[in-house]
């Protein structure tokens, strides 16, 4: 009798150990990728089927047992990090609790709403069409004090941690919160002293970002444009012509380009364009806010091609430096054509 009891106990221990191994031991493979995605509207059977079809699991029997033990019934959509040899118990607990891994969404320079929509659509569950529809909907943007032209001002160049299954409207709210945080009372006061709204500062900064990468020149270029605005002069900013034409690879702005009919063409329209022509850098926004008082009305790229600019207060001097730049530019193109003839 004792032997039978010993055998039974041993079998129970072995069975318990086997079950424990199946539930708590290494169980998952990751041929389907490091992240497992659960789409909005998925049910439990969809999750199990996807885990098997993507070969994270060989079968769903032990997954069912772990789910019953942990009472995993309510499916939470999201992006879940699956580690190789992860246990079933840990997997199910993660899915049950909705412990998803956020997407690290990095914004650098983007020129259009469409660029942003494509980027968002490639990284989140909401597709690019849903995002662009929201960005073009003035009724949705009205509560933020923005419209389809100015909305890009709220896309600040930061790194955002955002859940994969976020909706398009909630996604924008994340960006708008960062935009509001950036515009402190001190920055708003500086903008007021320039007689500009925050969105107008961002618009001017976006033009400057397209003009130069030279950090020391940014505040001086801002002073030129601000002086032109105060005097009622045309800004005549070449980057706005590129934006109006949607030809961002254009290397030289010719007279024929200056006649492009668009509210963004500052050769035809006074004042700032209707909205930013790219997502401006934080340092450029601050360069506008901290721009010095100057008498400069003109600037032209240096003929040294070092990325800096020459600033002048009168048209005659400006044209002298502009001719020097054009001559140097022509020589450079001639040299390139000799090296790489068509």
Could you report the per-residue pLDDT of 27-52, keeping only the tens digit for each? 677 776 789 999 999 999 999 999 99
What is the percentage of the chain residues whose pLDDT exceeds 70?
89
Q: Residue 87 belongs to what domain range?
A: 18-97
Q: b/e per residue, 245-273, with b = 16+ CB within 10 A?
A: eeeeeeeebeeebeebebebbbbbbeebb
Residue 341 domain flag: no
Q: How confident is the model at residue 3 (pLDDT cuts 50, 70, 90)?
A: low
Q: Indicate the range of 24-28, 109-113, 223-227 predicted with least confidence.
A: 24-28
Q: Which of 136, 167, 182 is the C-terminal boundary of a domain?
A: 182
Q: What is the pLDDT of residues 7-17, one digit of tens each?
A: 454 444 444 45
Structural domain contains residue 322:
no
Q: Is residue 324 part of a domain?
A: no
Is 259 in the same domain as 209?
A: yes
> How many Å apart are CA 220 and CA 75, to the nearest integer?
56
Render pLDDT for 264-301 as a digit per residue (tens, 0 to 9): 999 999 999 999 999 999 999 999 999 999 999 999 98
pLDDT at 16: 47
Q: Does 121 score more than 90 pLDDT?
A: yes
Judge if 122 and 152 occupy the same domain.
yes
Q: What is the pLDDT of residue 62?
A: 83
Q: Is residue 340 part of a domain?
A: no
One domain for residues 173 and 189: no
Do 145 and 177 lie in a common domain?
A: yes
Q: Where is pLDDT greater, at 24 or 103? A: 103
Alpha carbon 237 to chain centroid distance? 25
At residue 157, the pLDDT reads: 95
pLDDT of the residue at 13: 43
Residue 30 in any domain: the answer is yes
| In a domain? residue 205 | yes
pLDDT band at 1 (very low <50, low <70, confident <90, very high): low
Q: Are 235 and 314 in contact (CB under 8 A)?
A: no
Same structural domain, 246 and 290: yes
Nearest-angstrom CA–CA distance, 40 and 253:
48
Q: Which of 97, 123, 155 marks a domain boundary?
A: 97
| pLDDT surpassing 70 at residue 342 | no
269 and 177 together in one domain:
no
Say what the pLDDT of residue 9 is.
47
Mean pLDDT across the chain: 89
Distance CA 269, CA 264 (A): 8
Asked whether residue 151 is assigned to any structural domain, the reply reads: yes
Element (H, E) at 78: strand 78-81
One domain for residues 144 and 191: no
Residue 248 vs residues 9, 238, 312: alpha-carbon distances, Å: 77, 11, 27
Spatial contact of 272 and 257, defined as CB atoms under 8 Å apart: no
CATH number at residue 34: 3.30.1490
Residues 120 and 80 in one domain: no
Final residue in a domain of this structure, among 261, 277, 296: 296
Same domain, 156 and 172: yes
| Residue 231 forms part of a structural domain | yes
Do 168 and 253 fall into the same domain? no
- Look at residues 144, 139, 200 and name the one whose alpha carbon lies nearest to residue 172: 144
Question: Within 13 A of 321's CA, how many CA atoms are on the CB side?
Answer: 18
Average pLDDT over residues 82-99: 90
User: pLDDT of 170-212, one tens digit each?
Assistant: 999 999 999 999 999 999 999 999 999 999 999 999 999 999 9
Q: Residues of the chain with pLDDT > 90: what percent?
A: 71
> Same domain for 270 and 202?
yes
Q: Which two tokens stand for residue 110?
A: 């983007």
- Asked if 232 and 138 sit in the same domain, the reply is no
pLDDT value at residue 337: 56
Domain count along the chain: 3
């Amino acid at each position: 009798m004792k032997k039978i009891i010993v055998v039974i106990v041993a079998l129970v221990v072995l069975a318990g150990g086997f079950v424990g191994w199946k539930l708590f031991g290494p169980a998952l493979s990751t041929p389907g990728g490091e992240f497992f995605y659960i789409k909005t509207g998925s049910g439990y059977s969809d999750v199990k089927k996807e885990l098997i079809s993507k070969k994270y699991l060989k079968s769903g029997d032990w997954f069912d047992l772990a789910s019953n033990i942990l009472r995993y019934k309510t499916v939470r959509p999201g992006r879940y990090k699956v580690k190789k040899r992860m246990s079933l118990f840990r997997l199910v607990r993660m899915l049950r609790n909705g412990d998803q891994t956020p997407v690290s969404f990095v914004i650098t320079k983007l020129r259009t709403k469409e660029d942003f929509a494509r980027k968002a659509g490639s990284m989140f569950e909401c597709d690019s069409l849903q995002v662009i529809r929201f960005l073009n909907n003035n009724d949705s943007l009205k509560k933020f004090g923005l419209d389809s032209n100015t909305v890009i001002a709220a896309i600040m160049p930061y790194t955002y941690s955002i859940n994969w299954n976020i909706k398009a409207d909630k996604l924008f709210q994340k960006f708008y919160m960062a935009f509001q945080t950036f515009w402190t009372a001190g920055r708003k006061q500086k903008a007021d002293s320039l007689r500009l709204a925050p969105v107008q500062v961002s618009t001017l900064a976006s033009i400057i970002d397209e003009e130069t990468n030279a950090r020391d020149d940014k505040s001086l270029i801002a002073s030129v444009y601000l002086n032109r605005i105060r005097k009622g002069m045309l800004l005549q900013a070449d980057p706005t012509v590129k934006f109006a034409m949607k030809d961002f690879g254009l290397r030289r702005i010719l007279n024929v380009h200056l006649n492009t009919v668009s509210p963004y063409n500052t050769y035809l329209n006074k004042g700032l364009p209707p909205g930013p022509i790219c997502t401006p850098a934080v340092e450029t926004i601050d360069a506008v806010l901290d721009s010095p008082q100057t008498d400069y009305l003109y600037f032209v790229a240096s003929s040294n091609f070092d990325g800096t600019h020459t600033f002048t207060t009168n048209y005659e001097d400006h044209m002298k430096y502009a001719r020097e730049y054009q001559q140097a530019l022509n020589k450079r193109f001639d040299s390139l054509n000799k090296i790489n003839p068509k």
